[in-house]
Structure 1
Amino acid sequence: MVLLIVDTQKLIVNEKLYKFDRFVSNVKELINKARTNRIEVIYVRHDDGPDSELTKGNIGFEIYEEFKPINGERIFDKNVNSAFKGTGLLEYLINKGEKDIIIAGLQTDYCIDATIKCGFEHGFNIIVPEYANTTVNNKFMSSEQSYRYYNEFIWNGRYAKCISIDETIIKMNS
């Protein structure tokens, strides 16, 4: 089992996110439990390219301070929505023989959705803890509608198991 923390970068982790405080609290708890239980924490960062604020070399590109990697935890950089495409993450997980991935991070309707679906397609068992992913409003749906649409309707039972933080912690402890 690994904990995959997707796109929790300084530029986009802010109070515009749906249930911001709960999201931050849950992600911190997942990271702490993973480290306590010797579950590898893997980070993914999104790079939008040189004409963007969200690019390598800019302060906003770095991981949000409260989730910061420690002790050489791995970071994979991507430039598309899926954490698996062209990053080396897929090969790394296959070589380790990993089957179960807990996914948390940003944004529900972009990179989390793509990463969950691609992970499923590659045969991983995907676990999505409640309120450990979030997003902002878009022109079609509010952030709450996007969150509920993906977590309660699209992913659960199709691509992933969407479960409570408590259920996730139990799985991490076993």
Structure 2
Amino acid sequence: MAPFASDDPVALLLIDVQRGFDDPVYGERNNPEAETRIGELLSRWRETERPIVHVKHCSSEPDSPLRPDKPGNAFKSVGEPREGEQVVEKRVNGAFVGTNLESWLRERSIETIVCCGFTTDHCVSTTTRMAENRGFDPFVVADATATFEREGYDGRAFDAEATHQHALAHLREEFATILETDALLD
């Protein structure tokens, strides 16, 4: 797998690949192919027996579809963990806060992580930034992430694709290498 050597310990982080993000409460989403790309990444990681981490958001917000007592907390079928794959449950946007993710990666001498999932501008971005700040080498797979339309502080609307692209631009070079699934798997 480019850009990694075949024996490099590179972990795939599937961030919040959960059914709750199908809820209409989130509004218009970009990248309807994200789940397909996530599935391709997950298949390759399983084929090559590289480390896989499934990150699950367990919201404490009263109306969130991602609450542990809601059906939306479940993983989407494309990201369903298999026996032996690490599952990390978080309560905030960053997967390193209040979890064992960092120690799990360090115990396995994993320095490089590949991030995909939901949403580009929230949990994917926060986890990626925190990874880089902790000395990891993060990659974000642009076509295996997605987000929703957002409203600015002044009421201005930002469509989902613009929000996605801006989030990737903010991560690029400063916090992560941004690439597409095909470039990673070729």
Q: Structures share a fold, TM > 0.5?
A: yes
In the alignment, does 2:160 pair up with 1:143?
A: yes
* Aligned partner of residue 76 in structure 1, secondary structure: strand
SS in 1 for 2:183: helix
How far, CA to CA, are the matches of 1:68 and 1:59 in structure 2?
A: 14
Q: Partner amino acid for 1:33? A: R
Whether the 8 Å CA contact 2:23–2:65 is kept in 1: the answer is no
Give me the whole-angstrom Cα distance separating, in 2, the residues matched to 1:94 and 1:3. Answer: 14
Aligned identity (percent) is: 23
SS of match in other structure, 2:114: strand
Match of 1:156? 172
Give, in whole Å, the separation in 1 of the partners of 2:15 and 2:142.
15
User: How far did residue 96 of structure 1 move?
Assistant: 1.1
Q: Which runs of 4+ in 1 moved over 6 A?
A: none
Aligned residues: 168
Q: Which residue of 1 aligns with 2:56?
A: 45
Alpha-carbon offset, residue 58 of structure 1: 2.3
47-56 or 64-73: bigger deviation: 47-56
Is the CA contact 2:116–2:145 (under 8 Å) kept in the aligned structure 1?
A: yes
Q: Displacement of 1:130 after TM fit?
A: 2.3
Considering only CA atoms, is the larger Rg found in Structure 1 or Structure 2?
2
- Whether 1:131 and 2:143 are equivalent positions in the alignment is yes
Query: Helix, strand or coil for the counterpart of 1:130?
Result: strand
- Aligned CA-pair RMSD: 1.6
- The answer as to whether partners of 1:13 and 1:64 remain within 8 angstroms in 2 is no
- Secondary structure of the corresponding residue to residue 132 of structure 1: strand
Flag structure 1 segments of 5+ consecutive residues without an equivalent. Answer: none
Q: Could you list the per-position Cα deviations for residues 110-163 of structure 1 after superposition, in whole angstroms to 9, with x for gaps in the alignment?
A: 111100100000111111122111101011321111111122x21111110101
Q: Secondary structure at the match of 2:117?
A: strand
Offset of residue 24 of structure 1: 1.1
Q: CA deviation at 1:50?
A: 6.8
Which secondary structure state, in structure 2, belongs to the residue aligned with residue 168 of structure 1?
Answer: helix
- Do the aligned partners of residues 134 and 50 (structure 1) sit closer, same or farther apart at CA in structure 2, a change above 3 Å counting? closer
Match of 1:108 in 2: 120
Please name the residue that 2:183 is paired with: 167
Matched, 1:3 2:16: no
Alpha-carbon separation, structure 2, partners of 1:154 and 1:105: 17
Tell me how far apart the structure 1 counterparts of residues 22 and 108 of structure 2 sit (CA, whole Å).
30
Normalised by the length of structure 2, the TM-score is: 0.85
